[in-house]
Amino acid sequence: MTRKAILRGVGHYLPARVVENAEMESMVDTTDEWIKTRSGIERRHFAAEGELTSDLAIHAAKAALADAGIGAEDIDALVVATSTPDQTFPSVATVVQGALGTNGFAFDVQAVCAGFVYAMSTANAFITSGQANRVLVIGAETFSRIMNWEDRTTCVLFGDGAGAVVLEAGDGDAGILATDLNSDGRFRDLLYVDGGVSSTQTTGVLVMQGKEVFRHAVEKLAQTAETALEKAGLTPDDVDWIVPHQANSRIITRTAQKMGVSMDRVVMTVQDHGNTSAASIPLALSVAKSEGKFAPGQVLVMEAIGGGLAWGAVVLRL
């Protein structure tokens, strides 16, 4: 009997404040047309003053647990993907654990926008090895806190939010079929935050070479998705849904084209949420499920790339 990590529940949370592109026009030298043309983004959510990444994560976690029909006490491992923690330490995951009352162990994963696929792969390893039976995996970010509001090419792209999934050990056809993780530190200067504990003792703000990131993203996202599918013994023709990192509608479209997958099989939420980094895939998963897009037995591919550069994919059968 082969243990698999089966998706039991999903949930998400978005801060109450919605920031339309029209409002961004009053904050920085930009236009609604410029933002939509280059990114596909129409609005995003910003956390309220005093609302922390852990607060978003806790709301999303509760929604996922409710969807799975289990209590927090049934969780024996908790992994949070984030690049915007409440504090340098302790981890956001332990804050969430304390609030929910989950058992076992909890820790954060930091792979920026690829964080959720890294966290899913990590949770999958715990389950298939028998070290955990139920893992709560969360992606949560407050990227509005690290924006350079004088850089109109980046500050209009990001938003805040959280998404969560419950993975449970089981057997049968459903579950995570394969994962693929990659990184290349030679490209670390393409996307980074210019501050840190041991360097500047400040938080810093996001810096991105957009054109270069775009070029790498299309190539590497298609490559990692196809590699993960090959590991699972599948091809792009077997995919029912691609659930990509929601960074930019043009990247999403180009990647789907490169894989030969039609856009009617791609979940797209970037227009409503902006780039929520590690939160974007579980957010998109939860929204798509709430809209009735998924059915048992379908094959999903989740793919993401972020600073590092770090990128990867997860193949999952519902």
DSSP state of 296: T
The distance of Cα 185 from the centroid of its chain, to the nearest Å, equals 20
Active site residue 245: yes
3-class SS of residue 263: helix
114 to each of 220, 281, 309, how far by Cα in Å? 12, 9, 9
Active site residue 248: no
Q: What order do you get walking across the sheet with 241-244 strand by strand? A: 175-183, 310-317, 299-306, 241-244
Q: What is the CA radius of gyration of the chain?
A: 18
Nearest to 7 by CA among 180, 134, 117, 168: 168
Catalytic: which of 113, 124, 155, 273?
113
Q: Indicate the residue type of 34.
A: W
CA-CA-CA-CA torsion sign (102, 104, 106, 109):
negative
Give yes or no for a contact between 244 and 267, defined as CB atoms under 8 angstroms apart: yes
Residue partners of 108: CB distance under 8 A and separation at least 6: 79, 80, 81, 82, 85, 91, 92, 93
Both tokens of 199, joined, read: 């360097």
Catalytic: which of 21, 245, 248, 273?
245
3-class SS of residue 182: strand
Q: Tokens 């350079």 belong to which residue?
A: 148
Q: How far apart are CA 28 and CA 6, in angstroms?
A: 44
Q: Tokens 């400040």 belong to which residue?
A: 202
Give yes or no for a contact between 157 and 183, defined as CB atoms under 8 angstroms apart: no
Q: Tokens 């990247």 belong to which residue?
A: 251
Residues known to be catalytic: 113, 245, 275
